[in-house]
């Protein structure tokens, strides 16, 4: 299996597992918020869960940006003992760090919460048992994060995601068991049990993969590793302090606001982890390999290709979330004691937090370039500055716009950082990189996404109501999302780079993989019956040197046609038929199945009716589309021609006057 195919497979499977895992985490949050509502104690629980996210993000950044690359190098170039000692030494360090944080929260939790948050003293005192249980969770989350990251040094990406998925299922199970007692401390105990089981499971899995157990050890780190580690630690410390400052700003808001805002941020972060991090982690390993081989063109192509594809997948998701933020929050958390006011607060924040997704996508991919050349010691000051500047943006926007300004501050700070760090990387270390086309691609697709958002808001204004039941909200979100996604994809198909990105994403899913049966160029001759079929048959001598098949309507000459050519038939339709729309839809489904089976490289069509759907479906699957306008049309264009012209790679007319109607048409002469 090629490196490219392996990478695609890893991305798709890890994205799928991560998506399910994040959905399960959201279900866990939904259960908690439904039973307890948005109040002081739930605020503190979500604060501690946010601390866990911040701490594991801190350790994962160190692991992925420095230590995994160093471990890969030692494993490849040094002895097995050196590798074992390095892994065990880092394990010892994380055990020590975890114990220190655990002791701080367990013995001094009340003092810490009083000092660093705005929660009232009575609520903190009532939550102290839960804080102590969660301190164990913080400890195991740090250890488990390191153990899971170690697997990537073996280029194992799927198993850690499955392991995390199982942990999320266990948490929901343990949360639901004590839920009837209404005791939030018992919920924390359930989370702890899930993390302990995950720790045991990871340790056993690593033994099978590596051949040795985790344990305590000591070794000397190289000066380069120390320098890069210290740089990342400083940068991540600044980032961690920025997160703590963000949590402090939110904690001084009225009771319940922290829960509502943190739920919104958690949902946005879940989308980010699924759609962005899974791309970046897997592709980051490829960039390291390309850099070690000195393959600059490989770095350039891999970076731009996967960044474009990630953009193409992420932007419509972001548009759907922004347009439907309040209905999404109502569907997920609008149950039990979670009030309508909390739904609106969380929904408004979700819409704003979603804006940061595209900025974060570029940030994460830039970080992978930094890791590939081990430039952490040169970039950490930029990250420190970003954390400081972002905090002041958050404060400024908060005082101007209220709670909704917190998200705008985060977006602004991260955008400025991306501009600065991207310019520095491309001017000093990656001069061979060509990202101008990707920047234009992102901007154009943001315009398409903005159009989809406007369309979604229009739907929401006329069809959504705050008093909808859960079932009604689900139906509304499903229909609205499908319509928005359809608008985004269809208007995007006009632009060739989007067609390439869609084909790339479908290729990742295995939809456009070429058949192993034939290595020849495969051509689909698509048309309706009658004169259109007569014209397409004139091309048979031209395409006979290739593999070809005819896709047409079932008519009186179908049987005779099938004796001479490879033929696929769809239902004969006419615009005057009462069932015309339904027959067209049925033909489109059948066409999809035929094209998926045959996997043509090119589609040549002379029109009309169902052949329009053939052209569009073929374009979705990455085919070249060649359309030949009807011989019968000398001066006026056909409806089929108007519909196919925007997506056609080659558009041919048989009469010169028709050139006036189609901008990119070429005159090809008569088929007869």
pTM of the model: 0.56
CA 70 vs CA 75, 374, 381: distances in Å: 9, 10, 22
| Mean pLDDT value across the chain | 77
The distance of Cα 322 from the centroid of its chain, to the nearest Å, equals 15
| Other Cβ atoms closer than 10 A to 31 | 18
CA pair distance 537, 522, nearest whole angstrom: 16
Tokens at 4, concatenated: 């490219």
pLDDT band at 497 (very low <50, low <70, confident <90, very high): low
Mean pLDDT of 304-328: 83
Q: Per the omega criterion (within 30 degrees of 0), is the bond before 369 cis?
A: no
pLDDT band at 298 (very low <50, low <70, confident <90, very high): confident
CA pair distance 52, 232, nearest whole angstrom: 19
CA pair distance 43, 259, nearest whole angstrom: 5
Going by C-alpha positions, the residue among 245, 176, 185 that lies closest to residue 41 is 185
Helix ranges, 324-375 (H): 325-333, 340-353, 356-372
Give the total residue count for the chain: 672
Tokens at 276, concatenated: 């962005």
Q: What are phi and psi of 575, to 5 degrees?
A: -60, -25
Q: What's the pLDDT tens digit per position in 36-55?
A: 655 667 778 877 887 787 77
CA pair distance 609, 629, nearest whole angstrom: 13
| Other Cβ atoms closer than 10 A to 228 | 26
Tell me: pLDDT of 514 over 50.
Answer: no
CA pair distance 202, 665, nearest whole angstrom: 60
Percent of the chain with pLDDT over 90: 2
Do 661 and 639 touch, CB atoms closer than 8 A?
no
CA pair distance 473, 434, nearest whole angstrom: 44
Residue 359 zone, left/alpha/beta (φ > 0; ψ -120 to 50; rest): alpha
Residue in the block written with tokens 């700003």: 249
Mean pLDDT of 56-62: 75
Predicted confidence at residue 136, as pLDDT, reads 92
CA pair distance 187, 195, nearest whole angstrom: 13
CA pair distance 419, 379, nearest whole angstrom: 13
Q: What's the pLDDT tens digit per position in 554-613?
A: 877 777 888 888 888 888 888 788 788 888 888 888 998 888 888 888 899 987 888 888
Predicted confidence at residue 504, as pLDDT, reads 57
Q: What's the pLDDT tens digit per position in 333-388?
A: 665 556 677 777 777 877 887 888 788 888 888 888 887 887 777 777 777 888 88
- E runs forming strands in 397-544: 522-526
Do 306 and 279 touch, CB atoms closer than 8 A?
yes
């Amino acid at each position: 299996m090629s490196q490219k195919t392996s990478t695609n497979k890893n991305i798709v499977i890890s994205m799928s597992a991560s998506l399910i895992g994040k959905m399960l985490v959201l279900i866990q949050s939904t259960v908690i918020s439904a039973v307890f509502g948005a109040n002081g104690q739930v605020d503190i629980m979500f604060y501690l869960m946010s601390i866990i996210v911040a701490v594991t993000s801190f350790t994962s950044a160190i692991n992925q940006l420095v230590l995994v690359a160093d471990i890969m190098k030692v494993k490849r170039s040094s002895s097995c003992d050196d590798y074992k000692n390095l892994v065990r030494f880092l394990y010892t360090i994380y055990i020590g760090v975890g114990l220190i944080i655990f002791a701080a929260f367990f013995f001094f939790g009340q003092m810490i919460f009083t000092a660093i948050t705005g929660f009232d003293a009575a609520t903190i005192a009532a939550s102290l048992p839960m804080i102590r249980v969660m301190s164990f969770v913080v400890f195991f989350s740090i250890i488990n994060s390191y153990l899971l990251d170690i697997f990537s040094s073996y280029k194992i990406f799927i198993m850690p995601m499955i392991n995390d998925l199982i942990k999320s299922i266990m948490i929901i199970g343990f949360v639901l068991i004590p839920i009837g007692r209404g005791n939030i401390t018992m919920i924390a105990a359930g989370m702890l049990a899930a993390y302990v089981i995950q720790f045991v499971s990871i340790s056993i899995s690593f033994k099978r993969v590596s051949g040795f157990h985790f344990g305590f050890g000591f070794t000397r780190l190289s000066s380069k590793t120390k320098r890069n580690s210290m740089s990342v630690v400083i940068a991540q410390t600044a980032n961690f302090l920025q997160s703590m400052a963000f949590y402090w700003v939110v904690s001084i808001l009225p009771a319940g606001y922290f829960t509502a805002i943190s739920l919104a941020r958690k949902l946005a972060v879940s989308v980010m982890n699924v759609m962005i991090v899974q791309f970046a982690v897997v592709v980051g390993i490829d960039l390291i390999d390309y850099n070690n081989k000195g393959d600059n063109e490989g770095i350039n192509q891999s970076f731009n290709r996967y960044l474009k594809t990630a953009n193409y997948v992420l932007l419509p998701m972001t548009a759907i979330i922004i347009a439907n933020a309040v209905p999404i929050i109502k569907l997920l958390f609008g149950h039990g004691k979670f009030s309508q006011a909390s739904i609106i607060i969380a929904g408004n924040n979700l819409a704003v937090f979603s804006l940061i997704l595209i900025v974060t996508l570029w940030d994460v991919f830039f970080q992978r370039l930094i890791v590939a050349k081990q430039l952490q010691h040169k970039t950490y000051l930029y990250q420190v500055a970003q954390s400081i500047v972002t905090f002041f943006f958050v404060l400024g926007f908060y005082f101007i716009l209220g709670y909704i300004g917190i998200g705008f501050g985060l977006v602004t700070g991260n955008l400025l950082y991306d501009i600065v760090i991207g310019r520095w990387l491309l001017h000093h270390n990656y001069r061979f990189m060509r990202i101008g086309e990707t920047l234009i691609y992102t901007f154009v697709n943001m315009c398409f996404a903005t159009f989809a958002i406007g369309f979604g808001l229009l739907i929401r204004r006329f069809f959504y109501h705050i008093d909808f039941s859960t079932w009604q909200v689900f139906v509304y979100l499903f229909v609205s999302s499908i319509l928005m996604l359809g608008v985004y994809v269809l208007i995007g198909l006009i632009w060739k780079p989007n067609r390439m990105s869609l084909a790339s994403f479908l290729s990742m899913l295995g939809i456009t993989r070429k058949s192993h049966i034939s290595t020849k160029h495969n051509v689909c001759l698509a048309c309706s019956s009658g004169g259109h079929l007569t014209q397409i048959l004139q091309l048979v001598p031209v395409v006979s040197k290739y593999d070809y098949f005819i896709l047409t309507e079932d008519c009186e000459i179908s049987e005779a046609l099938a004796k001479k050519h490879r033929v696929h038939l769809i239902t004969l339709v006419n615009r005057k038929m009462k069932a015309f729309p339904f027959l067209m839809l049925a033909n489109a489904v059948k066409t999809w199945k035929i094209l998926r089976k045959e996997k043509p490289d090119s589609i040549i069509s002379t029109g009309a009716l169902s052949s329009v759907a053939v052209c569009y479906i073929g374009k979705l699957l990455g085919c070249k589309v060649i359309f030949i306008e009807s011989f019968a049309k000398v001066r006026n264009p056909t409806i089929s021609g108007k519909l196919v012209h925007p997506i056609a790679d080659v558009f041919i007319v048989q009469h010169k006057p028709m050139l006036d109607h189609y901008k990119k048409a070429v005159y090809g002469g008569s088929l007869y």
